Amino acid sequence: MATEQKLFWNSDNVRDVAESVGISSLNEEAVRALSQEVEYRLGQVITEAMRFMHQSKRTVLSTQDISQALKVLDVEPLYGYESTRPLRFGEASLGPGQPLFYIEDEEVDFEKLINAPLPKVPRDMSFTAHWLAVEGVQPSIPQNPTTAEARSTELIPKGPGANPSLAALAGNDNVTFKPLVKHIVSKELTLFFDKVRKAILDEDPDPDVVLMRHSALESVRSDPGLHQLVPYFVQFIADKVTHSLNNTFVLRQMMELAAAVIANPTLHVDPYVTSLIPGILTCLIGKSLGVEGPDMMDQYALRDFSSSLLSKIATKYAQTTQELRPRLGRTLLKHFLDYDRSLGTHYGAIRGIADLGGTEAVRELIIACLGKFDCVIEKGIKQRGEDDLQVQMLIGCIMKVISTVAESGNVLTNGANGDADNEQVLIDYLGPHIGKRVAALHDHRLNKAIMEVKSREEREGAE
């Protein structure tokens, strides 16, 4: 006759639980079956918890392991045992040989407990996978820090396990830990980078210095074997643009360097385009570049060059970065429609939209919004005067980009008249400042193109 298996779980506990739910009596067979089920379930929980413990390279089972095991087994986890404070167990005797252990409750002031703020609900742990970096560049996703956050931590002292190589090689003097550059790139490339950096930042007007500056950019533009320096060039451009907004010469040199890197056919710049774009956008639609004075034309030349460079990048890398052109267009349009921006920002946004989207973008985005945009010109005239350089540059930029619509040869006609008889219509549609100038040109094709845009809006509004 086989002996019955000995139970490790006290059957009295089963009876106590049964009585707590209203079951006053259980036969021995049911008690034994429930005790075996409890032992089996506890074994499952302990086995799963030990797996978590072993995977964590630990030898002590923790409450966190139990919680994770309960989640794996689809059992509601227990809350309230995540405290780092040690639990104090008390012992009470229920009779000879029957000790009862319990957790001692901490005595607290009842009034203090009522007035204390409610604790936060513990958050469930979750895991997800994402690309931390692709070929050394962090993609712009919510899990990774933004460009602004990354720049804000560049100058913070790093720990011994950090790698501030980019900032050190880019020339930041306040980096607390400078690694051995020869462990990252060769000595020759390090020397080349240092020579290029010094050459393009030398403002001396001496012809030999100017020739050295041009030679350095040409070397970056044409020399093969510089692929290891691409991330350093990108970081160098970003740092100098961030810290030299009052120096038009440095900003122009950074854009020249960016253009040289883009133009080199042997360099794989695709992974670094998203890191290169912020510096170019800053030089295009920045609030103020350089200082006001006799060199104001240099600032607008910088915005023009940045606009053409941005257009080249959007065209060249449209296949590898499919969202690049739409994102740039949305950014420029947002700054164009923000009437509180500076005149220089509006100038750069208009140039960028025209270079990025062509005549179609000029029709749909610029001409269609000029009526409301007239308030920006009026505000600039009141603050600076009609003869101010910034006001004249903005008006000239608008006139230049809308003139491309007539030059494109894609003017559609639907019976709209572009003659001078419609001067008042042009003024009402484009606003007084731009409308009067357009009407004064007496350009039949330009007037017809603008009236076509107006007619299209009216048809869409009627529908």
- Choice among 19-28, 64-73, 276-285, 390-399 with the minimum mean pLDDT: 19-28
pLDDT at 318 over 70: yes
Task: Give the rounded percent of residues in the chain with a pLDDT score beyond 90.
Answer: 8
- Choice among 6-20, 39-53, 177-191, 318-332 with the minimum mean pLDDT: 177-191
| pLDDT classification of 325: cutoffs 50, 70, 90 | confident
336 against 150, higher pLDDT: 336
184 against 429, higher pLDDT: 429
Nearest-5° Cα angle at 330, 352 to 403: 35
Tell me, what's the pLDDT at 259? 92
Tell me, what's the pLDDT at 151? 55
Distance between CA atoms of residues 137 and 232, nearest Å: 12
87 against 168, higher pLDDT: 87
Q: What is the DSSP letter of 59?
A: S
- Residues 44-81: pLDDT tens digits? 999 999 999 999 999 888 888 888 898 888 887 665 55
- Choice among 28-42, 165-179, 283-297 with the minimum mean pLDDT: 165-179
* Cα 352–chain centre separation: 21
DSSP 3-state of 130: coil
Residue 105: phi and psi, rounded to 5, are -80, 140
pLDDT at 29 over 90: no
Tell me, what's the pLDDT at 461? 66
Inter-CA distances, 315 with 220, 268, 322, 452, Å: 21, 16, 10, 28
Q: Which residues pair with 103 in a beta bridge?
A: 89
pLDDT at 213 over 60: yes
| pTM for this entry | 0.58
Tell me, what's the pLDDT at 161? 46
- Residues 410-460: pLDDT tens digits? 544 444 444 545 678 888 888 888 888 888 888 888 888 888 888 887 777
How crowded is residue 6: how many other Cβ atoms within 10 Å of its Cβ? 5
Tell me, what's the pLDDT at 96? 64
Inter-CA distances, 61 with 41, 46, 64, Å: 17, 9, 8
Residue 142: phi and psi, rounded to 5, are -60, -30
| pLDDT classification of 150: cutoffs 50, 70, 90 | low
Tell me, what's the pLDDT at 181? 41
Distance between CA atoms of residues 417 and 457, nearest Å: 16
Residue 8: phi and psi, rounded to 5, are -90, -25
Residues in the chain: 463
pLDDT at 82 over 80: no
Q: List all residues 6 or more positions away from 106 whose beta carbon is below 8 Å from its beta carbon.
A: none
pLDDT at 198 over 60: yes
Please state, rounded to an integer, the average pLDDT across all residues of the chain: 79
Residue 92: phi and psi, rounded to 5, are -125, 140
Following DSSP, what letter does each residue of 308-358 receive, concatenated?
A: HHHHHHHHHTTTTSTTHHHHHHHHHHHHHH-TTS-HHHHHHHHHHHHHHHH
Tell me, what's the pLDDT at 260? 92
> Across residues 135-152, what is the average pLDDT?
66
- Choice among 188-202, 211-225, 432-446 with the minimum mean pLDDT: 432-446
Mind listing the domains of the chain with CATH numbers? 1-81 (1.10.20.10), 165-398 (1.25.40.770)
- List the structure tokens of 6: 């000995």
Angle between helical axes of 389-407 and 370-384 (0-180°, round to 10) = 160
Following DSSP, what letter does each residue of 158-190 receive, concatenated?
A: P-TT---HHHHHTT-TT-S----GGGTS-HHHH
- Choice among 37-46, 128-137, 271-280 with the minimum mean pLDDT: 128-137
